[in-house]
Structure 1
């Protein structure tokens, strides 16, 4: 399966960008009067499809890569950030009742997403801050 690593990684990265872009779009809709459209079945199904492909590619990459990858902690931090992102996104999209709370959770989810991108890009738990703080 190592021969397919570049293709699987490309699919994973594409799905990360599609998932993030769709979240930005749906999150903006949820903050406005288009909240019903943001929760519509076609957009939710598209989100589920992208996220399923993303998770499948991630699990395939995880099965290919050596276990020593967990040694420096960046992948562990990325997984923890993923759980935080999911929780924050759920609160931003529908769980939080007050509009200000939904907006705060939306901004926090976006910040978590950007941090996750940084961790994945530089392979360090600090992500984009690695060069500045380390």
Structure 2
């Protein structure tokens, strides 16, 4: 499967950007007072499809390079932040009890996404901080 590494990596990257863009849009809809549109069945199913493809590509990459998870500190940090991102995202879109809680969760989830993206781009747990040095 190593011969497909580049293609799988690109699918993964495209799905990361698609997932982040869809979350950005859904969060903006919730913040604009239109949660019914953000949580409509077609939008949710698109989100499920993108996230399933993203997870499948990630697991395929992990299968190709099984030692990468523990050999690379950046990948471990990214996976921990992924859990934080998912939890914040659920509070931003539906579990937040007040509009303020949803807004704070939304901004925190977006910041976490940007941090994860920086960690992945820089291949370092420091992510975007490396640019400041």
TM-score range (shorter-chain normalised) is over 0.9
Relative to the length of structure 2, the TM-score reads 0.96
Q: Which residue in the other structure is 2:16 paired with?
A: 16
TM-fit CA distance, 1:132: 2.5
Q: Which residue in the other structure is 2:41 paired with?
A: 41
Structure 2 residue 69 is the aligned partner of structure 1 residue 58: no
CA distance in 2, matches of 1:68, 1:8: 15
Q: Which residue in the other structure is 1:113 paired with?
A: 113
What is the root-mean-square deviation of aligned Cα atoms in Å?
A: 1.2
TM-fit CA distance, 1:130: 2.2
Q: Which residue in the other structure is 1:80 paired with?
A: 80
CA distance in 2, matches of 1:50, 1:3: 24
Check the 8 A contact 2:29/2:35 in 1, yes or no. yes
- Structure 2: tracts of 5 or more residues without a match: none
Deviation readout 1:7-62 (Å, 9 max, x if unpaired): 00000000000000000000000111211110100000000000000000000001
CA distance in 2, matches of 1:97, 1:28: 17
Number of residue equivalences: 133
Q: Which residue in the other structure is 2:96 paired with?
A: 96
Deviation readout 1:69-128 (Å, 9 max, x if unpaired): 523411100000000000000000000111011000000000000000001011100111
Greater CA drift, 69-78 or 95-104: 69-78
- Structure 1: tracts of 5 or more residues without a match: none
